[in-house]
Amino acid sequence: MAKPEPFGIAIVGCGTVGGATARLLQSEAARLREVSGTGVYLACVVDVAFDHARSLGIDESLFRTDMAEPLADPEVKLVVELVGGTTVAKEIAAKALSAGRHVVTANKALLAHHGAELFALARRNGVTISFEASCGGGIPIIRALYEGLLANRIDALYGIVNGTCNYILTAMVQSGRTYAEALGQAQRSGLAEADPALDVSGLDSAHKLAILASLAFGRRIDLDRIPVEGIDTLETLDVAFGRELGYVVKLLAVAGRGPDGVSLRVRPSFIGLDHPLAWVSGPFNAVSVYGHTVGHTMYYGRGAGGPPTSSAIVADVIAVAVGAYQHTFRSLTIWPDLTEPVRQLPMEQIESRYYLRVTVEDKPGVFAQLATVLGNHRISISSVLQREPSEHIDAPAADDASDRATKTREDSSQVTAVPVVITTHRTNEGNVRRALAEIDELTVCTRPSVCINIIDEHEETI
Ligand code: HSE
């Protein structure tokens, strides 16, 4: 058999993921060439410093500081972009595509912001851009959507797609830690970044949802229109009440298809303990996808870290080296440069069940006031939970409620405030927001209310 053509790979950015990818391409070189029947090999690693690469034992003869070098090498057919961010990364990807090199990236922010532009550029230059590692780390969820599930109309997708948040929430649920304690624990164990904002704000999950939903629905998603809430204001009290009601809190990225459009959101949400996503703990990720003919499928694994993410990157590399991805990229019409913008439901029209916690004075007639406001906004109550007073009005008030707390104390020093937890039947977000704005204005209400989506199992159509 003829010796396969050399297929050189340049890795740009040798941090945690770049380093692990370089190691994997080196340690598995012979096996990867044998199983793929290609001449795939690591040609070089481009970065500005190589301390990390050296510490991993990567062959120093491969170190380059200028990306022009691999782009001048005709054996280099593919560039793996792993620098992160959206500015330098975009320049690197654009340079490589313009020079006729395939690009593999793990960069969700880059794709969520500039996917359509980069896909179009790849197409104009007769090359491809692939991105399995951008969502769910090592989990092959992107392939599942564009290959394995292609026969399906995807009706819904629920994802736990941020390992940092899932680790923090698991610590809050299982060990009763506060958000700050759980974040500290995650940072000490190296799971959370020193600046965890991108993860805990929910933005990283929104980037991933934009990518997953674009493939699931074959429509272009506008990142800026995804409602996003992070986990950084979540209180242990709500975590505990949720447990009592049979729910566990997760940062869920949710996409659903409805008759009037697609709903999208990223939020801390309650999900029933009987849903398999409830049991996805620590740094693990999982995505539930509901197809009209396959029903519920779920994809689970490590969503971050060098070795798991390098698994997805090298899968992309091999798919291009054997020529398979080129066909998919050319033939399918689901890519962001080829699709129409999604018809997205305004946030007001998103339907869900809701958990509401209102903090009110503990005296007769208060619940009737709450029920009246909810009824006026056509919100039907499913359950009510109230514990013995746990929060006296003299206790430190929430920042933005302090004025109200003081005023109330002048009126009556004996009044205590209690949390009342109400779960609702299905209603829309607009009704809930309007009702809570009114409830927060009641004089008996001593703190701003808390509202958490309850995500029900999506009904299968099979
Ligand atoms: N920081 C992400 C996480 C991984 O914690 O899951 C990269 O998207």
d(C-alpha 134, C-alpha 111), whole Å = 8
Give tens-digit pLDDT for 334-353.
Answer: 999 999 999 999 999 999 99
Q: What spacing in Å lies between the alpha carbon of 362 and ligand 1's midpoint?
A: 43
* Cβ atoms of residues 194 and 95 within 8 Å: no
Give the distance from CA 103 to its chain's centroid: 23
d(C-alpha 108, C-alpha 91), whole Å = 15
Mean pLDDT, rounded, for 280-294: 97
Orientation of helix 203-217 relative to helix 108-124, angle to 10°: 40
Q: Cβ < 6 Å from ligand 1: which residues?
A: 162-164, 199, 204, 303-304
Any idea which residue has 């961010």 for tokens? Answer: 85
**Side-by-side strand order, sheet with 39-46:** 63-64, 39-46, 6-12, 76-81, 102-105, 129-130
Mean pLDDT, rounded, for 435-462: 94
Q: List, in sequence order, every residue forming a beta bridge with 44; answer none if it has no partner.
A: 10
* Cβ atoms of residues 139 and 167 within 8 Å: no
E strands of 121-223, at which residues?
129-130, 154-160
- Picking from 407, 135, 73, 177, the residue whose alpha carbon sits closest to that of residue 286 is 135
Q: What spacing in Å lies between the alpha carbon of 191 and ligand 1's midpoint?
A: 9
Tokens representing residue 270 in the block:
């309650």
Mean pLDDT, rounded, for 311-322: 98
Give tens-digit pLDDT for 38-81.
Answer: 999 999 999 999 999 999 999 999 999 999 999 999 999 999 99
How much is the pLDDT for 396? 36
* The CATH number of domain 6-137+309-331 is 3.40.50.720: yes
Q: What spacing in Å lies between the alpha carbon of 200 and ligand 1's midpoint?
A: 10
How much is the pLDDT for 413? 54
Q: Which ligand 1 atom sits nearest the alpha carbon of residue 285?
A: 6
Q: Which backbone phi and psi does 437 adopt, to 5 degrees?
A: -60, -40
pLDDT band at 459 (very low <50, low <70, confident <90, very high): confident
d(C-alpha 229, C-alpha 269), whole Å = 10
d(C-alpha 303, C-alpha 311), whole Å = 11
pLDDT band at 328 (very low <50, low <70, confident <90, very high): very high
Fold of 141-303: Dihydrodipicolinate Reductase; domain 2 (3.30.360)
Mean pLDDT, rounded, for 363-383: 97
Query: Where do the structural domains in the chain lie, given as residue ranges?
Result: 6-137+309-331, 141-303, 348-455
> Does residue 271 sit in helix, strand or coil?
strand
CATH number for region 348-455:
3.30.70.260
Task: Enumerate the active-site residues.
Answer: 208
